[in-house]
Amino acid sequence: MRLTTKGRYAVTAMLDLAFYSQDKPVTLTEIAARQTISLSYLEQLFARLRKAGIVQGVRGPGGGYQLNQDAKKISIGAIVEAVNEPLDSTKCGGEANCQHESMCLTHDLWMGLSEHIESYLTNITLADLLAKGDERRNAEQMGESVVKIRRTRKKS
């Protein structure tokens, strides 16, 4: 399990999507505006999320993206894993035989750590995070300043 800014972008976008797509699909353009993530980068991330079956694209006017599953079923770990490429997990793939015995010792220990974090992230769902957000949103009203931005694209 790798933890980088790419995963954070994906989780941020998914939280936004889960929050705003309760009645209708949300366009990436909206998410890009709200979360200040570039539209094209979002497109890349959501292409992976769609292939992983986490979100569903709806084409045409009024379209956008929706969750493909219940927010209670979508784990943070799944989101992070979807956008990161597999990571060849050290020279000795999995539990293979390393030349140096002490190597695999430390390697196993690191894998143990990694698996712990992975299982932690897998046991937190989008719904959990949304609930935490609701708590926080009691006092301060949540702003709805959806700035209409236009895609940076030249006309042909």
Partner DNA sequence: CAATAGTTGACTATTCTACTAGGTTAAGTA
Partner DNA sequence: TACTTAACCTAGTAGAATAGTCAACTATTG
Residues lying near a second copy in the complex (CB under 8 A) are found at 1-5, 8, 11-12, 15-16, 19, 33-36, 76, 87, 90-91, 99-103, 105-110, 112-114, 116-117, 120-121, 124, 129, 132-133, 136-137, 140, 142-143, 145, 147
Alpha-carbon dihedral 152, 20, 17, 22, rounded to 10 degrees: -130
Q: Which does 3 bind (CB under 5 to 8 A by kind): a second copy, DNA, none?
A: a second copy
Q: Which does 44 bind (CB under 5 to 8 A by kind): a second copy, DNA, none?
A: DNA
Smallest gap from residue 110 Cβ to DNA (A): 12
Q: Which residues lie near DNA (CB under 7 A)?
A: 2, 4-6, 9, 25-29, 37-41, 43-44, 46-47, 50, 57-65, 84-85, 87, 152-154, 156
CA–CA dist 134, 92 (Å, integer)? 45
CA–CA dist 30, 13 (Å, integer)? 10
CB nearer a second copy, residue 97 or residue 152:
97
Cβ(64)–Cβ(58) below 8 Å: yes
- Range 97-122 burial, b when 16+ CB lie within 10 A, else e: eeeeeeebeebeeebeeeeeebeebb
CB nearer a second copy, residue 102 or residue 156:
102
Query: From the CB of residue 56, how many other CB atoms can be counted at a distance below 10 Å?
Result: 15
Alpha-carbon dihedral 120, 12, 144, 41, rounded to 10 degrees: -170
CB nearer a second copy, residue 35 or residue 56:
35
Smallest gap from residue 17 Cβ to a second copy (A): 10
